[in-house]
Amino acid sequence: MSTAAPAEPEKLTKKALISDHPTWCPACGDFAVLAAFFKVLEKLQIPHEKICTVAGIGCASRFPYFVNSHGLHYIHGRVLPLAMGISLSRPDLHVFAFGGDGDGFSIGGNHLEHCARKNPNLTYIIMDNFVYGLTKKQTSPTSPLGFKSKTDPGGAIDQPVNPMKKLISSSASFIARTHAAQVKHMMEMFERAIKHPGFSVVEVLSECVIFYKGAFDDGNPRKGGEFELIEEKAWDDTPEDDARHDVTSEADAYAIADIQYPGKFGVFYQNERPSKNTLEQQGIDASREKCAGADARDLLKKRFALMK
């Protein structure tokens, strides 16, 4: 062991986190998501080398290229099982997965459900724009009924996914929803998600200004819409508190998720059940204790003795 005092870790700045200039279209909602992400990292002062950003395929999935951190750009739809491998094998890291509605709810829909159920310690930010942008305007799993696209010129006919309901039913342990035009709220949601032990998901309504312009104006006061926040219970024994939202109640979360578009924003659900990381580590600790610190050679020797 070194006796020298550890060097003062360098302060993490936004400047250090900036990488290539994003290739997103000018005015894309994702720029605001990136800026908010930088600010939260700066605030939380996570050691630079411990930040790990990963993504699948899509416009939003270009994210890792625009963050100067360890990163991985993976294949379409499979970012969550990949991120789980990183998180479980390297609990020292802070793992952030990024993607869009196609990557998360369509081709990767099954993984979202199972990742939520397994609850590995990582944060997943979904930039939902209700359209396939990278492939130039096809219907996405969150496109509303009647949305006209190149694959539905007469208007979308398939019932869209309700991301909040899907996440609640999959037992995700932290579920929040925000809007790319509401940077302060977005930062608050990111910070709470990052601090949550387990699988935390934030859906960000992030406008595609080329293929679905104005999609989220109804949730943007500057465009004449209303940004209605979820009022969480303060547990202060006041009569007003009865009407407030209990984030630990699935039934309450479903009720908010059912509110018609643009709905409410904030934390829908949070449950601090043990993460998969914790549970696997408990299994390792119990096994190691049973083997009384035997090393690989001892363990193999013992096993071979039983095969004689």
Partner 1 sequence: MSSSPIADQKPSTTDATTSERKEDINNAVIRLAGNSQDGIQTIGGLLARLAGRSAQEVMTYMTIPSTISGGASIFQVRIGSGEVLSPGDDADFLIAFYQDSYENHISTLREDGVCLYDTDHVEPDLTDSRVTFVGVPMTSTTIEAIGGSARDRGKNIFVLGLLTNLFDLQREKLVHIIETQFKNKHESVLRNAMLAFDAGYAYQLGDIFNRSYEFHPGEADSEERITTDGNTALTYGLLAAGVRYGAGYPITPWSSIMEQLRSELPKYGGIFVQSEDELAAISTAIGCAYSGHLAVTGSSGPGLSLKMEALGYASMAELPLIVINVQRGGPSTGLPTSVEQSDLMQAIYGSHGDTPRVILAPKDVEDCYYIAIEAARIAREFSTPVVILTDQALSSRIEAFAEPDLSGVVTPELDIEPRDEDFKPYPFDAQTNHAPPGTKMSGGKYPVVTGLEHDEWGHPSSNPEIHQKMTDRRRDKLKRLATSLPSPEIHGAEEGEVLLIGWGSTWGPIREAVNAARGNGQGVSAIHLRHIHPMPEGIDKIMEGFNRFLVIEMNDEGMYGYGQLATLLRARYANPKIQSLTKCDGIGFKIREIIAAIEKSGN
Structure tokens at 59: 């416009």
Q: Does position 46 bind partner 1 by CB under 8 A?
A: no
Binding part of the chain for partner 1, among 133-141, 189-197, 246-254, 285-293 by CB under 8 A, reads 285-293
> What size, in residues, is the chain?
308
Q: Does position 169 bind partner 1 by CB under 8 A?
A: no
CB of 136 to partner 1, least distance (A): 19
CB atoms within 10 A of CB 91: 15
Nearer to partner 1, 222 or 290 (CB): 290
- Helix, strand, coil percentages for the chain (3-state, nearest 5): 40, 15, 45
User: x/- contact string, 2-31, with partner 1 (CB under 8 A)?
Assistant: --------------x--x------------
Residues 137 and 166: their CA atoms lie apart, in Å, by: 24
User: x/- contact string, 67-106, with partner 1 (CB under 8 A)?
Assistant: -xxxxxxxx-xxxxxxxxxxxxxx-xx-------------
CB of 283 to partner 1, least distance (A): 5
**Nearest of 50, 29, 9 to residue 182 by alpha carbon:** 29
Q: Which of residues 103-162 bind partner 1 (CB under 8 A)?
A: 110-111, 113-114
| CA distances (Å), origin 241, targets 225, 235, 264 | 27, 7, 18
Q: What is the DSSP letter of 239?
A: H
Q: Does position 223 bind partner 1 by CB under 8 A?
A: no
Q: Does position 167 bind partner 1 by CB under 8 A?
A: no
CA angle 64, 65, 70 (to 5 degrees): 55
Please return the burial class of 57, using the count of CB atoms within 10 Å of its CB with bins 0-12, 13-18 and 19+: buried
Q: Does position 244 bind partner 1 by CB under 8 A?
A: no
- Positions touching partner 1 (CB under 8 A) are 16, 19, 48-50, 52, 54, 64-65, 68-75, 77-90, 92-93, 110-111, 113-114, 280, 283-284, 286-288, 290-291, 294, 296-297, 299-301, 303-304, 306-308
